[in-house]
Structure 1
């Protein structure tokens, strides 16, 4: 893939990474993890946000507290990185921008990563965080999962798993450039190859092999939500770029959720890179996407508050 003239911070970073990956085809996983910590470089530091290293349910991470945020509303952020890369550090600034726009607090979870900890360790950790928040007094309906790329997979799968176990799950699920297809069959992996400066089919397969090294099937709905029944799923927000290689995953998710009667919104960004909201504070399209996401969040939260008030009044 040739490197075009780029102006957006994320496209420049992805092109630089791709050059390093091509020049170092035997790059170790440890080195790849160091490279992906560079994600935070493209995000501006949000104003009036504090951070604290802490844990919920034994899972470490970073607590994100915007000024005047509602402590009773919590966004659980699940970072991307193919289940093997990325961290709370690489995503804390993005979480700060999103939480501030939503008027909520946030927790960026450092869930266990593959291949040292293959599926379902990631879902176990997200469930532990959720359960700990509920035990601390947060209403389950006031917890939202926010995930990008592989983190979006974890967010969706954890909500599906909670429904399967018959307990209350998150009130909302918000996804950015979701990666769901563990069969690596999405058509836009090929058709958008020249416009996506990070994703390759080979790279995806390497992360799939790490994630499923414990023997899980790539068709298990909790591994590949494109095989899931979304009936009864909470309100779902999806944003993705039309030129990214994983666009087909987002489009298929939207179709499945809509057919199941889910309250689902699909916001398509033109000409942007994978997880483009990471450029918050430095790229207009990223700021616009976060504002749209926050407006959706606030709208669903207000509707839920009215519903609870009406239910209480009629009781």
Structure 2
């Protein structure tokens, strides 16, 4: 018979993996995209920290402000959720975005960009650009805005910076990326070297999501679809966090190397034993450490002085 102590003894990473597998096991070939999105939102909906949630239309893009107590009104983090461009929403990523807001002491604008296959590339990119324009129209200077995103959202953070740079728009102060998916060709060595260690994301799945996003005639090497292949010069400082167990590990490692070669200031953090976007799971101690590090990075570039109240 299992005791209460047995559950406590379960490794928190393995517990997180089982949460993910339970969702994927419930899906069949007949499961609709709408049902997948609903299941994902239900699995991760909620908010574990005290922030104020305010719905907003950000330049025509549905979104939500997550505002911790005492947050300055003239600073903002634009948060872009992951989900393979197919699932994910403000609801599924509310807790992660809220914990970033709470740890940083800064307002977070989280948005529902359009998803594939109904809306293929570059619809999602256009929506993130619209949200960035919205923040600027609210009177925020680019130096008072930072971007953050996970997985496909990390891709969109980079693509938005690249598109803004190429359009000669001023860039945000910095960008923080969690397990960014930067290479839609899935050509990194980690797709093989981490295949057994990664419990969920295998190359075939990644390539299927890429086709879903791009369409059958889309170019996976388009630099705005795969920022790994872009000219990375003149980007703002970047923080990149990735788990060492991830098949997409080299999407981060190779990005950091190429960005440094292009003269970009980059901090790469590879977290031992961690899975894809482990920061989503507050029960994992390393997730709390990673968010604290990410928040400190963003605060430093927003010039926010902030001390959290004792818990």
CA distance, structure 2, for counterparts of residue 136 and residue 296 of structure 1: 24
CA distance, structure 1, for counterparts of residue 56 and residue 168 of structure 2: 29
Other-structure match for 1:27: 31
Partner-residue secondary structure (3-state), 1:69:
coil
Give the counterpart of 2:20 among 14, 21, 36. 14
Other-structure match for 1:288: 289
CA distance, structure 1, for counterparts of residue 162 and residue 287 of structure 2: 28
Conserved? CA contact 1:69–1:100, under 8 Å: no
Other-structure match for 1:299: 300
Mapping 1:1-315, distance limit 5 Å: 7-8=12-13, 9-21=15-27, 24-40=28-44, 45-46=48-49, 48-213=50-215, 215-280=217-282, 282-302=283-303
Structure 2: gaps spanning 5 or more residues: 1-9, 305-311
Conserved? CA contact 1:10–1:273, under 8 Å: no
TM normalised by structure 2 equals 0.90
Closer, same or farther in 2 for the Cα pair 1:39/1:258, shift >3 Å? farther
Other-structure match for 1:306: none
Partner-residue secondary structure (3-state), 1:256:
helix
- The CA deviation at 1:149 is 0.2
Conserved? CA contact 1:277–1:286, under 8 Å: yes
CA distance, structure 2, for counterparts of residue 214 and residue 171 of structure 1: 36
Closer, same or farther in 2 for the Cα pair 1:27/1:201, shift >3 Å? farther
Greater shift after overlay, 197-206 or 264-273? Answer: 197-206
CA distance, structure 1, for counterparts of residue 47 and residue 165 of structure 2: 37
Partner-residue secondary structure (3-state), 1:245:
coil
Partner-residue secondary structure (3-state), 2:170:
coil
CA distance, structure 2, for counterparts of residue 294 and residue 40 of structure 1: 21
Conserved? CA contact 2:211–2:218, under 8 Å: no
Greater shift after overlay, 189-198 or 264-273? Answer: 189-198
Partner-residue secondary structure (3-state), 1:33:
helix
- The CA deviation at 1:12 is 1.9
Structure 1: gaps spanning 5 or more residues: 304-315
CA distance, structure 1, for counterparts of residue 42 and residue 147 of structure 2: 24
Conserved? CA contact 1:73–1:138, under 8 Å: yes
Closer, same or farther in 2 for the Cα pair 1:192/1:35, shift >3 Å? farther
- The CA deviation at 1:186 is 2.2
Conserved? CA contact 1:145–1:174, under 8 Å: yes
Which 4+ stretches in 1 moved above 4 angstroms? none
Conserved? CA contact 2:179–2:240, under 8 Å: yes
Q: Alpha carbon RMSD of aligned pairs, Å?
A: 1.8
Partner-residue secondary structure (3-state), 1:50:
strand
CA distance, structure 2, for counterparts of residue 133 and residue 195 of structure 1: 40
Partner-residue secondary structure (3-state), 1:266:
strand
CA distance, structure 2, for counterparts of residue 268 and residue 77 of structure 1: 21
- The CA deviation at 1:205 is 1.7
- Describe the superposition over 1:95-131 as per-residue Cα deviations: whole angstroms up to 9, x where unpaired: 1110111111011100000111101111111111111
- The CA deviation at 1:27 is 2.9
